C-alpha cells in the first residue's frame, strides 16, 4: 500500500518552461488537493478535486492548472514557470472532507525555477 | 477568510520535558475542525491530533494533548515526555466543517535537546 505518491521529487526548471507534477493515490479517496509550502507561510491550497472529473480553485491558483481524469490521479501543471513558483509542492488525499477523515500527504516535490 | 497564527517560530525542549506550542485562529464560524500536523526532515506531513469544535473535551493522543479554548480561539499543543523523534516542524490547521480548504499556520520548529 503506497498511499500518496508524488512524481518527481525534485526538479529544476528554467523560466518559461512547462512541467506536470503527478500525484497518485491507491486508497480510493474521493478528495485530492495540491498545496505549496513556502518558508514561514505553512501550506497554501492551489487547487483541489472532490471527485473524478472535477476540479476547483484554492487560495493561490494563478499560474497553475489541474486535471483529474482518473480517480487515483491528480495532475498539477505549470504552463510557463516563473521564479515565484519556486516552492515545495504537496499533494494530499482524503476519503471525504478533510475534517471528517484524515488527509494523507505525499512526500513533496521541491521545484526550483531559475 | 480564516487565518491561523503560530507566534513561535522555534521552540527548544530538553528530552523528557514538556513543551507547549501555541496556535490562534480567526473565524466567524461555529462548526469547524482543528488539527496539528508534524513535518519531520523527511518532509512527510503526519497528522498528530484532531479536535472537533463542537466537542468541549480536549483531544489526547498518547503524549500529545491539546488545550482548546473556543471562546479565545486558541488551540495549543502540549508534547509531554519529549523524545528526540519529536523534533520537527509542527503546523496548526483549521477547516470549516462545510468547506474543503485546510488553512495552515506558518509552523513552529521544535528542537529536542538530549
Interchain contact, B42 vs A48, CB within 8 Å: no
Q: What is the pLDDT of residue A94?
A: 85
Which of B100, B105, B107 is facing A98, going by the closest CB pair? Answer: B100
Q: What percentage of chain A reaches a pLDDT higher than 90?
A: 78
Kindly state the cell numbers that stand for B17.
Answer: 520535558
pLDDT bin (cut points 50, 70, 90) of residue A101 is low
Q: What is the pLDDT of residue A98?
A: 62
B107: closest CA of chain A, how far (Å): 6
A64: closest CA of chain B, how far (Å): 17
pLDDT bin (cut points 50, 70, 90) of residue B42 is confident
pLDDT bin (cut points 50, 70, 90) of residue B46 is very high
CB atoms within 10 A of CB B60: 12
Q: What is the pLDDT of residue A11?
A: 96
Coil, strand or helix at B55 = coil
Question: Could you report the per-residue pLDDT of B54-77, keeping only the tens digit for each?
Answer: 888 899 999 999 999 999 999 999
Which of A40, A41, A99 is facing B95, going by the closest CB pair? Answer: A99
- For the cut 70, the answer to whether the pLDDT of residue A97 exceeds it is no
Question: Could you report the per-residue pLDDT of B76-90, keeping only the tens digit for each?
Answer: 999 999 999 999 999
**B interface test, pick of A58, A98, A109 with most B CB neighbours within 10 Å:** A98
- A87 phi, psi to nearest 5 deg: -175, 175
Interchain contact, A41 vs B42, CB within 8 Å: no
pLDDT bin (cut points 50, 70, 90) of residue B1 is low
Chain B residues in contact with chain A using a Cβ-Cβ cutoff of 8 Å: 4, 9, 32-33, 42-47, 50, 52, 91, 93, 95-97, 99-107
Beta bridge partners of A88: A37, A110
- pLDDT averaged over every residue in chain A: 92
Question: Could you report the per-residue pLDDT of A22-53, keeping only the tens digit for each?
Answer: 999 999 998 899 999 998 778 999 999 989 99
Chain B residues with beta carbon closer than 8 angstroms to that of A45: 101-103
In the 8-state DSSP scheme, what is residue B13? E
Interchain contact, B102 vs A103, CB within 8 Å: yes
- Bigger pLDDT: B20 vs A96: B20
CA–CA dist B113, B99 (Å, integer) = 39
Amino acid at each position: 500500500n503506497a498511499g500518496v505518491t508524488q512524481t518527481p521529487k525534485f526538479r529544476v526548471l528554467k523560466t518559461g518552461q512547462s512541467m506536470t507534477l503527478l500525484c497518485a493515490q491507491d486508497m480510493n479517496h474521493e478528495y485530492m488537493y495540491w498545496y505549496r509550502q513556502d518558508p514561514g507561510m505553512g501550506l497554501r491550497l492551489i487547487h483541489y478535486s472532490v471527485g473524478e472529473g472535477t476540479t476547483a480553485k484554492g487560495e493561490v491558483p494563478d499560474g497553475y492548472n489541474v486535471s483529474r481524469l482518473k480517480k487515483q490521479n491528480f495532475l498539477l501543471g505549470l504552463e510557463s514557470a516563473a521564479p515565484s513558483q519556486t516552492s515545495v509542492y504537496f499533494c494530499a488525499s482524503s476519503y471525504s472532507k478533510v475534517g471528517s477523515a484524515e488527509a494523507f500527504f505525499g512526500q513533496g516535490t521541491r521545484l526550483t525555477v531559475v | 477568510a480564516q487565518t491561523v497564527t503560530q507566534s513561535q517560530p522555534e521552540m527548544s525542549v530538553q528530552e523528557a520535558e514538556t513543551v507547549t506550542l501555541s496556535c490562534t485562529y480567526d473565524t466567524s464560524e461555529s462548526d469547524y475542525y482543528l488539527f496539528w500536523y508534524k513535518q519531520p526532515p523527511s518532509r512527510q506531513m503526519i497528522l498528530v491530533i484532531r479536535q472537533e469544535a463542537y466537542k468541549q473535551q480536549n483531544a489526547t493522543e498518547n503524549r500529545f494533548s491539546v488545550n482548546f479554548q473556543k471562546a479565545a480561539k486558541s488551540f495549543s499543543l502540549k508534547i509531554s515526555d519529549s523524545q528526540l523523534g519529536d523534533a520537527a516542524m509542527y503546523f496548526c490547521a483549521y477547516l470549516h466543517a462545510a468547506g474543503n480548504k485546510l488553512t495552515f499556520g506558518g509552523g513552529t520548529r521544535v528542537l529536542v535537546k538530549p
